[in-house]
């Protein structure tokens, strides 16, 4: 298995619509405004956060349980930025929609700009033949409120191509998050 570079990513986008919308360059500005970078990087792709957020709250004193998820555990926010309370958590999604090839595994890492502010981005691997918007998990590990910007970079995806295709893909086993759109909550 080897990591793939920017030319491979561009080819997969052209041939298989792997990333939509796709930014072929790494963007750092919009006009005169500085951005947290997004787009194609040397060996990956920096994804953007959409403007849909679910911020966890303890107002209703519910228990966070992945088997019986209570929608009262969060507040919906639709805005160009999201404030995550101290020591709290939010869900969001990527602007980009992904179609992962059968011989590719994708690993996601948070951008250092956010990590240096105590904001951790977690995403599980994108398996072969998974498709959808990526649900992003943001943890604010600080004792201060933290800001996340919509339509700017939040994480980097690294693409690993296998020497062979996998025996059973995410699509083959009808994974429960296949084709997800919007911010997707836990399913069992």
**Is residue 61 scored above 90 in pLDDT?**
no
Q: Who contacts 30 (Cβ-Cβ below 8 Å, separation ≥6)? A: none
**pLDDT surpassing 80 at residue 149:** yes
| Average pLDDT of the chain to the nearest whole number | 92
Backbone torsion region of residue 183, taken as left when φ is above 0, otherwise alpha when ψ lies between -120 and 50, otherwise beta: beta
| pLDDT the model gives residue 67 | 87
Q: Is 137 a catalytic residue?
A: yes
Give the active site residue among 7, 127, 137, 164: 137
For residues 57-84, average pLDDT: 85
Question: Mean pLDDT over residues 169-181, rounded?
Answer: 93
DSSP string of 106-175, one letter each residue: EEEEE-HHHHTTTEEEE---B-TT-EEEEEEEEEE-SSS-EEEETTSEEEEEEEEE-SS--SS-TTTTT-
Give the pLDDT confidence of 38-57 residue by residue, as tens digits.
999 988 999 999 999 999 88
Q: Angle at Cα 121 formed by Cα 50 and Cα 23, nearest 5°?
A: 45
Backbone angles phi, psi at 85, to 5 degrees: -60, 160
Residue 86, both tokens: 């101290």
């Amino acid at each position: 298995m080897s990591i793939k570079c920017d030319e491979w990513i561009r080819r997969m986008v052209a041939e298989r619509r792997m990333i939509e919308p796709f930014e072929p360059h790494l963007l750092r500005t919009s006009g005169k405004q500085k951005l947290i970078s997004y787009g194609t990087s040397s060996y990956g792709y920096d994804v953007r956060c959409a403007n849909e957020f679910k911020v966890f709250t303890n107002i209703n004193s519910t228990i966070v349980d992945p088997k019986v998820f209570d929608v009262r555990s969060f507040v919906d926010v639709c805005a160009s930025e999201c404030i995550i309370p101290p020591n709290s958590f939010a869900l969001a999604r990527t602007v980009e929609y992904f179609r992962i090839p059968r011989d590719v595994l994708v690993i996601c890492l948070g951008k250092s700009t956010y990590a240096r502010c105590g904001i951790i981005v977690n995403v599980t691997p994108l398996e072969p033949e998974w498709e959808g918007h990526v649900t992003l998990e943001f943890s604010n590990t600080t004792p201060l409120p933290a800001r996340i910007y919509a339509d700017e970079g939040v994480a980097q995806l690294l693409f690993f191509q296998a020497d062979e295709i996998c025996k059973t893909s995410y699509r083959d086993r009808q994974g429960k998050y296949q084709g997800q759109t919007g911010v997707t909550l836990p399913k069992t």
